[in-house]
């Protein structure tokens, strides 16, 4: 077991130097169920000698293949259910390296039910291998996956026409599929706005043709093998000239003399002396130090994790985005985004979700669904048609408008992958329900952004305020006669609520109301009308009360429905 | 407008290890900021050693903002425990130790029971009890996806229900570097900052960073029970077969676990460069010397479903 295979004398320095020269490529697999994705990855690992003998022994004589033929899919299908059903259910991450580079593989499932797991695998990929069964050609799921890969900004698609052994290694078959797929990719690029570079190759994953070794059965194919392609694609490089994006993850202040902002450079680079702007507050400072455990740096570029010390005290906290002053991100509360829906419960427009973007979470609602992208054909539509939709269901993709409760600083996804992406979380189930890709953002004026940003931070957190008052702050719009408004205020007071009554017709009552609500008060913003009843509206909930109605119970329900009686988490903002 | 057509100035090339390091630090900071009571499971092995160094880096110059928790089965090598206490002191971290005392007192061991039930009591049960006792809502573990094929399936944030169980068929989608930290009371997240590291990456990083590791990793003359290819440590007297005598063998441990279930390998690798050179020549995976993983196909997955790391 310990007989060295390497030449002696082994020089660790030479070896390490060679290792440090290797770059990194992340790729994923895609394609319809049973097209041979896992088999291909298993074959790739086996033929590059990246699997250990005990791992090979553990799959001998098992699986779906003919006697004597290893079922390579078993090397990656690591769950019992996967081995029992002969399909992949969730992403498997595998690692291997060649003399040129290191690879991180995400082998994803083809089954339609698990499309969201395919999206998980593609979101971090530089390249995706789309497999197509040579006998079946381009299937709906091949289209869906190609679309998702393009949407998620994967730049290189390696289209592997697989199972060539089952079509007599037919060149015509290969060319026909290549032509079908090329047409599809043009349509996809037109829709997503992200052109991808396709590379076609005929393979047999099972027998190893054109995976690592060139195929003797397909002399008509003179292009590179899969491994040659993978070794020659441009690696995960980061664009040093891109504008700085740095999401503050944590403020480090071990003692009074040090205050640093910990985060990862998401794009661009930074040096001491550079001017940065904190968004959404818009405050500006210069970088004094780039601090790390290994000493200060004179430059940090993506994707390094560092700690920035600034030349002056400005109010910055977790969730803020530090950007280059000359090329800031867009501050917005209104986004247009592509959504990949990932939950068994359909999207509910108007419902409140939590949007996680960079290092912070804001409540958001989908205000309108522009269209759904049709990924399957039917009698009336073609693939990629835009059809009107009232909702999105599991694995559907559409374009939506979102309204955020507080401004965030974003970029378009096609410009910045990390500051242009977000996820939506269902606050009731805590499930990740959607992946979001920013297509455009409506900018809001910096002055307003600064106000909105500061009204929610400060020395006292929403949680502390909640613990003091027993409820969250909010603006309750009261519309109706003064006599009923008085009763509402009385009833709330009686219940121990902290209220502030303002007259809606008074100038500046709006911004005062916003301040008071962010301080944790229930603001009763009253617009007097001459009717018999009064409506109390807060967030998306409302209540109508007439003169004689009893109030206490109904107000309590209203506050609960609006989420005002729910204690904020440690890092949760006002919801 | 489209980034593909123009060739941007690329940043100076960052080595694979620096990229992994940056990703891990990002994860450590997210967890420390988003959870109320995180803890780092410290198992004393090489992966824990790397994870601990990354935690120092993530929060420098501030101290590590969470405690370390060691699940002590009572069968760890003595050298491991000494090393553990020394390291905790050195980095200035709070160290908690949790043991399933009733099971230990009842004489639980892998010979008296089978390895599966022994692990269930001394590791899984102890872990779940320890996490519950301190009310931890997030626990870092040093597991890597390249270790075993059910681990290859795991998310970086691995959601566990209120019984600590993993549901591999229903994991949360995990896109980009956006982790979903939301949980209900009683539920928790296991976090694997080293998910994308390989065994080779870990040793190279230990070498580059000069990270201390337990001496058991280095080849020395040690007394062992020799049974065919297997070398069994002599720490526990119940390991001996009737009449069996230990022999001195030049050997080392490739991965550290409980002494009865961790076989040693014959080796001359006495330094980290030796270990790296040896690693290149290995034909078997690092877990091949552990008894627990392959007493049953899919046994790691089963243990993980029950709450094991
Ligand atoms: N003849 C032949 N069979 C193949 C080839 N590649 C894969 N197969 C077989 O096709 C079946 C499906 O292969 P998998 O690798 O599991 O397919 P997959 O794309 O990973 O499937 P999912 O992950 O479930 O979507 C298995 O029985 C394989 O042995 C090939 O090149 N030639
Ligand atoms: Mg598969």
How large is the ipTM? 0.89
% of chain B residues with pLDDT over 70: 90
pLDDT of residue B302: 75
Q: Evaluate if residue A109 carries a pLDDT over 90.
A: yes
- Which residue(s) pair with A201 in the sheet? A160
Beta-strand pair B188-191/B138-140: parallel
Question: For B231-276, how does the pLDDT look when each residue is reduced to its tens digit (9 = 90+)?
Answer: 888 777 777 778 888 899 999 998 887 777 788 899 999 999 999 9
Tokens of A341: 């829906």
A226-230, A289-293, A546-550, range with the lowest pLDDT? A546-550
Tokens of B202: 């870990």
pLDDT of residue A571: 44
Q: Distance between CA B33 and CA B66 in Å, rounded?
A: 11
List the one residue out of A148, A156, A182 whose CA is nearest residue A27: A156
Torsion, Cα of A354, A356, A361, A362 (10° steps): -50
Could you tell me the fold of the domain covering B15-202+298-306?
Answer: Rossmann fold (3.40.50)
> Which of A53, A264, A345 to mutate to probe the B interface, most B CBs <10 Å?
A264
Q: Of B176, B178, B285, which has the smallest distance from its Cβ to A54's Cβ?
A: B285
% of chain B residues with pLDDT over 90: 54
List the one residue out of A276, A252, A435, A413 whose CA is nearest residue A343: A435
Question: For A482-522, how does the pLDDT look when each residue is reduced to its tens digit (9 = 90+)?
Answer: 999 999 999 898 888 899 999 988 877 777 888 888 888 99
Question: For A266-322, how does the pLDDT look when each residue is reduced to its tens digit (9 = 90+)?
Answer: 999 999 999 999 998 889 999 999 999 999 999 999 999 999 999 999 989 999 999
pTM of the model: 0.84
Q: Distance between CA A95 and CA B222 in Å, rounded?
A: 34
b/e per residue A279-304 (b: at least 16 CB within 10 A):
bbbbbebebebbbbbeeebeebbbbb
Closest alpha carbon within chain B to A571: B34
pLDDT of residue B58: 98
Question: For B124-155, how does the pLDDT look when each residue is reduced to its tens digit (9 = 90+)?
Answer: 899 999 999 999 999 999 999 998 888 999 99
pLDDT of residue A45: 93
pLDDT of residue A176: 97
Q: Distance between CA B232 and CA B238 in Å, rounded?
A: 12
Q: Evaluate if residue A454 carries a pLDDT over 70.
A: no
Question: For A118-134, how does the pLDDT look when each residue is reduced to its tens digit (9 = 90+)?
Answer: 999 999 999 999 999 99
What does the pLDDT average to over B96-110?
Answer: 88
3-state helix, strand, coil in chain B (%, to 5): 40, 15, 45
Question: For A1-22, how does the pLDDT look when each residue is reduced to its tens digit (9 = 90+)?
Answer: 333 344 456 788 888 888 888 8
Torsion, Cα of A100, A101, A107, A110 (10° steps): -60
E strands, A282-414, are 283-291, 300-301, 305-310, 321-324, 330-341, 352-357, 360-373, 386-387, 397-410
Average pLDDT, chain A: 89
Confidence band, pLDDT 50/70/90 cuts, at residue A557: confident
Count of CB contacts below 8 A, A vs B? 245
First and final CA of chain B: distance in angstroms?
45
Q: Of B26, B265, B268, which has the smallest distance from its Cβ to A305's Cβ?
A: B26
What does the pLDDT average to over A391-407?
Answer: 93
Q: Of B61, B204, B229, which has the smallest distance from its Cβ to A254's Cβ?
A: B61
Number of Cβ atoms within 10 Å of the Cβ of B293: 22
- What residues line ligand 1, using a CB cutoff of 6 Å? A 31, 33-39, 64-65, 71, 73, 87-88, 109-111, 162-163, 165-166, 204-206
Q: Distance between CA A415 and CA B303 in Å, rounded?
A: 43
DSSP state of A458: S
Q: Evaluate if residue A187 carries a pLDDT over 70.
A: yes
> Cβ(A477)–Cβ(A523) under 8 Å?
no
pLDDT of residue A568: 65
List the one residue out of A410, A395, A415 whose CA is nearest residue A342: A395
Question: For residue A20, what are the contacts with CB-CB under 8 A and spacing of at least 6?
Answer: B15, B16, B17
Torsion, Cα of A221, A224, A225, A229 (10° steps): -150
Q: Which of A206, A215, A218, A226 to mutate to test the pocket of ligand 1 (most atoms within 8 A of CB)?
A: A206
First and final CA of chain A: distance in angstroms?
60
Q: Could you tell me which residue, B118 or A101, shows the higher pLDDT?
A: A101
The atom number, within ligand 1, closest to the CA of A39 reads: 15
Size of chain B in residues:
309
Whole-angstrom Cα Rg for chain A: 29
pLDDT of residue A9: 63
pLDDT of residue A506: 83
Q: In Å, how far are A38, A81, A88, A98, B304 from A84, measured between CA atoms? A: 15, 5, 10, 32, 18
Q: Evaluate if residue A403 carries a pLDDT over 60.
A: yes
List the one residue out of A321, A301, A313, A324 whose CA is nearest residue A258: A313
Question: For B30-72, how does the pLDDT look when each residue is reduced to its tens digit (9 = 90+)?
Answer: 999 999 999 999 999 999 999 999 999 999 999 999 999 999 9
Question: For B186-231, how does the pLDDT look when each residue is reduced to its tens digit (9 = 90+)?
Answer: 899 999 999 999 999 999 999 999 999 999 999 999 998 888 878 8
Asked if the C-beta of A572 comes within 8 angstroms of chain B's C-beta atoms, the answer is: no
Question: For residue A24, what are the contacts with CB-CB under 8 A and spacing of at least 6?
Answer: A101, A102, A103, A104, A235, A236, B16, B19
Closest-CA residue, ligand 1 atom 9, reads A36
In chain B, where the domains are located:
15-202+298-306, 214-294
> Cβ(A499)–Cβ(A486) under 8 Å?
no
% of chain A residues with pLDDT over 70: 93
pLDDT of residue B297: 59
Q: Evaluate if residue A175 carries a pLDDT over 80.
A: yes
Check CB contact under 8 Å for A250 and B32: yes
DSSP state of A193: S
Q: Could you tell me which residue, A454 or A536, shows the higher pLDDT?
A: A536
Q: In chain B, which residues have their Cβ closer than 8 Å to the Cβ of A302?
A: 11
DSSP state of B259: G
């Amino acid at each position: 077991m310990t007989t060295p295979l390497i030449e002696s004398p082994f020089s660790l320095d030479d070896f390490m130097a060679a290792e440090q020269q290797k770059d990194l490529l992340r790729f994923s697999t895609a394609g319809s169920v049973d097209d041979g994705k896992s088999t291909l990855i298993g074959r790739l690992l086996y033929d590059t000698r990246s699997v250990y003998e005990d791992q090979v022994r553990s799959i001998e004589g098992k699986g779906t293949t003919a006697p004597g033929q290893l079922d390579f899919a078993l090397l990656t299908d690591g769950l019992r259910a996967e081995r029992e059903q002969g399909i992949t259910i969730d992403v498997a991450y595998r690692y291997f390296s060649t003399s040129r580079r290191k690879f991180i593989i995400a082998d994803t499932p083809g089954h339609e039910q698990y499309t969201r797991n395919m999206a998980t695998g593609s979101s971090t990929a530089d390249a995706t291998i789309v497999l197509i069964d040579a006998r079946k050609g381009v299937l709906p799921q091949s289209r869906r996956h190609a679309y998702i890969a393009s949407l998620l900004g994967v730049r290189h698609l390696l289209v592997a026409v697989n199972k060539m052994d089952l079509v007599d290694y037919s060149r015509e078959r290969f060319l026909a599929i290549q032509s079908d797929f090329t047409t599809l990719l043009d349509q996809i690029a037109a829709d997503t706005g992200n052109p991808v570079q396709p590379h076609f190759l005929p393979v047999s994953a099972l027998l190893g043709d054109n995976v690592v070794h060139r195929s003797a059965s397909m002399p008509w194919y003179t292009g590179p093998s899969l491994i040659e392609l993978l070794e020659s694609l441009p690696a995960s490089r980061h664009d040093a000239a891109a504008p700085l994006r740095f999401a503050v993850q944590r403020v480090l202040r071990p003692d009074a003399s040090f205050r640093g902002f910990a985060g990862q450079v998401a794009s661009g680079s930074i040096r001491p002396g550079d001017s940065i702007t904190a968004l959404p507050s818009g405050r500006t400072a210069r970088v004094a130090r780039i601090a790390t455990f290994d000493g200060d740096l004179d430059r940090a570029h993506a994707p390094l994790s560092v700690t920035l010390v600034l030349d002056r005290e400005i109010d910055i906290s977790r969730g803020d985005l530090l950007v280059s002053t000359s090329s800031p991100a867009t501050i917005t509360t209104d986004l247009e985004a592509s959504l990949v829906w990932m939950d068994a419960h359909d999207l509910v427009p108007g419902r409140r979700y939590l949007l996680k973007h960079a290092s912070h979470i804001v409540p958001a609602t989908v205000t309108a669904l522009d269209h759904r992208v049709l990924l399957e054909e039917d009698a009336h539509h073609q693939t990629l048609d835009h059809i009107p939709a009232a909702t999105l269901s599991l694995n559907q993709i559409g374009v939506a408008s979102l309204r955020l409760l507080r401004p965030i600083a974003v970029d378009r996804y096609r410009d910045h992958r990390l500051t242009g992406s977000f996820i939506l979380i269902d606050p009731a189930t805590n499930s990740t329900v959607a992946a979001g890709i920013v297509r455009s953002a409506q900018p809001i004026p910096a002055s307003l952004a600064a106000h909105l940003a500061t009204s929610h931070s400060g020395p006292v957190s929403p949680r502390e305020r909640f613990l003091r008052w027993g409820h969250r702050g909010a603006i309750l719009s009261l519309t109706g006669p003064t006599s009923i408004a008085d009763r509402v205020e009385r009833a709330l007071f009686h219940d121990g609520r902290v209220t502030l009554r303002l007259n809606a017709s008074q100038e500046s009552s709006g911004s005062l109301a916003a301040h008071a609500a962010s301080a944790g008060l229930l603001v009763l913003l009253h617009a007097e009308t001459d009717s018999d009843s009064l409506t109390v509206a807060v967030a998306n909930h409302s209540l109508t009360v007439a003169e004689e109605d009893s109030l206490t119970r109904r107000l309590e329900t209203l506050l609960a429905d609006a989420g005002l009686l729910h204690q904020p988490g440690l890092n949760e903002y006002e919801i | 407008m489209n980034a593909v057509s123009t060739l941007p100035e690329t940043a100076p090339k960052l080595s694979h290890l620096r990229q992994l390091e940056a990703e891990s630090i990002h994860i450590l900071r997210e967890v420390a900021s988003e959870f109320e009571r995180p803890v780092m499971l410290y198992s004393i092995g090489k992966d824990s050693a790397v994870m601990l160094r990354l935690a120092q880096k993530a929060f420098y110059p501030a101290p590590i903002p969470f405690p370390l928790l060691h699940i002590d089965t009572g069968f760890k090598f003595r050298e491991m425990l000494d090393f553990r206490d020394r390291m905790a002191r050195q980095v200035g971290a709070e160290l908690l130790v949790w043991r399933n005392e009733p099971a230990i007192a009842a004489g639980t061991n892998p010979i008296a029971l089978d390895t599966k039930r022994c692990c269930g009591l001394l590791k899984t049960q102890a872990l779940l009890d320890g996490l519950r006792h301190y009310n931890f809502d997030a626990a870092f573990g040093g597991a890597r996806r390249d270790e075993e094929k059910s681990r290859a399936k795991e998310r970086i944030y691995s959601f566990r229900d209120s019984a600590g169980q993993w549901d591999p068929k229903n994991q949360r989608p995990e896109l980009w570097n956006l982790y979903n930290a939301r949980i209900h009371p009683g539920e928790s997240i296991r976090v694997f900052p080293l998910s994308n590291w390989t065994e080779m990456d870990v040793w190279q990083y230990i070498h580059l960073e000069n990270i201390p590791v337990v001496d058991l990793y280095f080849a020395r003359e040690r007394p062992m029970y020799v049974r065919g290819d297997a070398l069994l440590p002599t720490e526990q007297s119940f390991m001996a077969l009737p009449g069996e005598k230990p022999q001195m063998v030049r050997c080392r441990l490739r991965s550290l676990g409980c002494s009865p279930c961790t076989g040693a390998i014959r080796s001359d690798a006495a330094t980290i460069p030796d270990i790296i050179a040896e690693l290149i020549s290995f034909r078997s995976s690092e877990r091949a010397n552990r008894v627990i993983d392959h007493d049953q196909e899919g046994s790691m997955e089963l243990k993980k479903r029950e709450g094991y790391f």
